[in-house]
Amino acid sequence: MGVHDTGIEALAAAARAALVREIDAERVWDGDPVWREAFAAVPRHLFVPYYHVVGERGYERRWGESPDPEARERWVRGAYADAPLATRLRDGELLSSSSQPSLMARMLVALRVTDGDRVLEVGAGTGYNAALLAHRLGADDLVTTVDLEPEITESARRHLAAAGHRPVVVTGDGARGVPERAPFDRIIATCELPTVPRAWLAQCRPGGRVLTPLATGLLALTVRDGEHAEGRFLSTPAFFVPLRGDVPSRGGDGPGPGGAVPAGLPGRAREQEPFRFLLALSRGALDPREAYALWRREGEPGRGRYGVTVDGGRVRAWLDDPAGPYVWPLP
């Protein structure tokens, strides 16, 4: 028995169709049905031959090669749940995951890929996102995906080949991009960074687009040239595994979905996820009380009112207007 059993494939096809309908209901890809076609065609279960879900005793492993038919069914149904899946752990630390499919769909739509675009993905993960991109573009060679861990890139290659795709998979530091494959029209990161690496702008064509998780949000930048880019955050929250490699530290983790808010702030601040986003985005630049006063004074803004400007060696975050008055530096 295995992942290519006729019964498993039939169950996977039905579960995949149900997932597409679930994302349909959220109206994620209105106006861009090519992504619906990609999610309907690319078999996610081939990219997660095993994964971990949180159970009563910690992480529970689900495996497509289990000798127990019921366990195999739980595995394939879970593979098509609209949920992130932990795929690689080390000493209890999450190293790699397959992101929530509806969030992946939102990110891919926001990337604004067009026919013929060359795309760099930072954070190969399971290879599933690269397969979706390759399906959308209709040419594997237009997609490059990079990850620091050789084990991750090797498994991503295997998964991609099993699904019939062979994009370029590179083992390396994603913060440095993949200069030998540049220039790119689009760059998408599927791991969290504390800032925008300058190497990405240098490897992106003028007018290109960069979409990257930053401070529990998704930042969409338009590149002017190798030194300049600007853009706003999407309204969607996003929590990703941090990029490992040559990137600066923010000096501590920002508050996540249930993360701590510094003492001395009103109790309701702990309940306000949009404020925790500002706290993460301004960490080290704004005092928490100052950030809270700003947030309250400006009408409790959500993510979509914030943006980032890259100007040479400077990276600045801002609220509403890149010219100010509310501007602060990122690392």
* Per-position DSSP letters for 108-173, written without gaps between them: HHHHT--TT--EEEE--TTSHHHHHHHHHHT-GGGEEEEES-HHHHHHHHHHHHHTT---EEEES-
Nearest to 227 by CA among 194, 204, 261: 204
Q: What is the pLDDT of residue 166?
A: 97
Task: Report pLDDT digits (tens) over 299-308.
Answer: 999 999 999 9
> What average pLDDT is seen over the chain?
89
User: With 70 as the cut, is the pLDDT of residue 52 above it?
Assistant: yes
Question: Tens of pLDDT along 56-67?
Answer: 677 788 989 899
pLDDT score of 260: 58
Q: What is the pLDDT of residue 6?
A: 74
Indicate which residue of 96, 97, 99, 102 is catalytic.
96
Q: Is 290 left (phi over 0), alpha (psi -120 to 50) or beta?
A: alpha
Closest CA to 129 of 152, 151, 115: 152
Domain ranges in the chain are 6-233, 267-329
Per-residue pLDDT for 39 more than 60?
Answer: yes
Q: What is the per-residue pLDDT for 31?
A: 67
CA distance 76 to 269: 40
Tell me what percent of the residues of the chain surpass a pLDDT of 90: 72
CA nearest 125: which of 102, 100, 146?
Answer: 146
Answer whether residue 272 shows pLDDT above 60. yes
Question: Could you tell me where the DSSP H helices lie in 203-282?
Answer: 273-281
Residue 255 has pLDDT above 90, yes or no: no
Other Cβ atoms within 10 Å of 308 Cβ, number: 25
Q: Is a pLDDT exceeding 60 seen at residue 211?
A: yes
pLDDT 10s digits, 55-98: 667 778 898 989 999 999 999 999 999 999 988 887 767 777 88
Write phi, then psi, for 54 (nearest 5 degrees). -75, 125
Q: Is 96 part of the annotated catalytic residue set?
A: yes
* Confidence grade of residue 252 (pLDDT, cut at 50, 70, 90): very low
Look at the chain and count its residues: 331
The pLDDT score that the predictor gives to residue 325 is 95
- For a pLDDT cut of 70, what percent of the chain falls above it? 91
Mean pLDDT of 303-331: 94
The Cα-based distances of 58 to 52, 80, 139 in angstroms read 9, 21, 41
Query: Hey, what CATH class is 6-233 in?
Result: alpha beta
DSSP secondary-structure letter at 233?
E
Tell me the sheet residues that pair with 242.
192
Q: What pLDDT, on a 0 to 100 scale, did the predictor assign at position 250?
A: 40
In this prediction, residue 243 carries a pLDDT of: 76
Cβ pair 64, 8 in contact under 8 A = yes
pLDDT at 101 over 70: yes
Q: What pLDDT score does 1 carry?
A: 40
User: Could you give the CA distance from residue 252 to residue 157 in angstroms, rounded to a whole number?
Assistant: 33
pTM for this one?
Answer: 0.91
Residue 146 contacts residue 121 (beta carbons within 8 Å): yes
For 45-60, b/e burial (b = at least 16 CB within 10 A) is: bbbbbebbbeeeeeee
Among residues 215, 202, 233, the alpha carbon closest in space to that of 312 is found at: 202
Q: What is the pLDDT of residues 176-190, one digit of tens each?
A: 999 999 999 999 999
pLDDT at 261: 64
